[in-house]
């Protein structure tokens, strides 16, 4: 998925949907990929040892951290921001995700004109990964073939 997103970001014209500049998109996808690999490993261990009531919220918060880190990598690679914008960095992902309009967002989100649909694409990929890697319950274990009765 990361290779596909990076490849589509590099297509002239339509690739601009993932950001106006290729280097920040590739950097953010790299950070997202590393974060997703770590998140899948952590979620596997966590769901094996903790009940779902604990595991699901923790994995959700960690997914938000991964998406925020990818958004931060996008902004950091652009280098078009002032140091005062770092105070708002925990909110960069939701601001970029909502495509916030207005002058107040321009002051806090350094990649205001460059993001396009990049956060939405990474969010969809994250949901796909987490749904694919969802915790398995004992009821999901396939039946033993010798227990099946063929009539």
Q: What average pLDDT does the segment 103-127 reach? A: 73
Task: Say how far apart CA 26 and CA 23 lie, in whole Å.
Answer: 5
Alpha-carbon gap, residue 30 to 49, rounded angstroms: 29
On average, the pLDDT of the chain sits at 76
- How many angstroms separate the CA atoms of 99 and 104, rounded? 12
Please give the biggest Cα pair distance in the chain: 73
Tokens standing for 8?
Answer: 């589509």
What proportions of the chain, in percent to the nearest 5, are helix, strand and coil? 75, 0, 25
For the chain, give every domain's residue range.
2-135
Between CA 104 and CA 94 the distance in angstroms is 14
Residue 93 CA: distances (Å) to CA of 32, 59, 127, 132: 13, 17, 15, 23
| pLDDT tier at 146, thresholds 50, 70, 90 | low
pLDDT score, position 125: 86
pTM, full prediction: 0.75
* Confidence (pLDDT) at 94: 82
**Measured between alpha carbons, how far is 54 from 3 in angstroms, rounded to an integer?**
32
pLDDT (tens digit per residue) in 58-95: 989 999 999 999 988 888 887 766 666 777 778 788 87
Distance CA 131, CA 69 (A): 21
pLDDT tens column, 23-42: 888 888 899 999 999 998 88
Residues 114 and 21: beta-carbon distance below 8 Å: yes
């Amino acid at each position: 998925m990361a290779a596909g997103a990076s490849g589509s970001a590099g297509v002239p014209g339509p690739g601009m949907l993932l950001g106006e500049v290729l280097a920040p998109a590739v950097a953010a996808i790299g950070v997202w990929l590393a974060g997703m690999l770590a998140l899948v490993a952590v979620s596997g261990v966590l769901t094996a040892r903790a009940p779902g009531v604990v595991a699901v919220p923790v994995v959700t918060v960690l997914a938000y951290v991964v998406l925020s880190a990818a958004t931060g990598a996008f902004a950091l690679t652009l280098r078009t921001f002032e140091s005062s914008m770092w105070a708002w960095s925990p909110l960069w992902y939701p601001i970029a995700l909502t495509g916030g309009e207005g002058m107040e967002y321009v002051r806090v989100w350094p990649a205001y004109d460059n993001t396009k649909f990049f956060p939405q694409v990474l969010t969809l990929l994250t949901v796909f990964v987490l749904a694919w890697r969802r915790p398995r319950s004992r009821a999901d274990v396939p039946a033993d073939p010798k227990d099946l009765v063929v009539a």
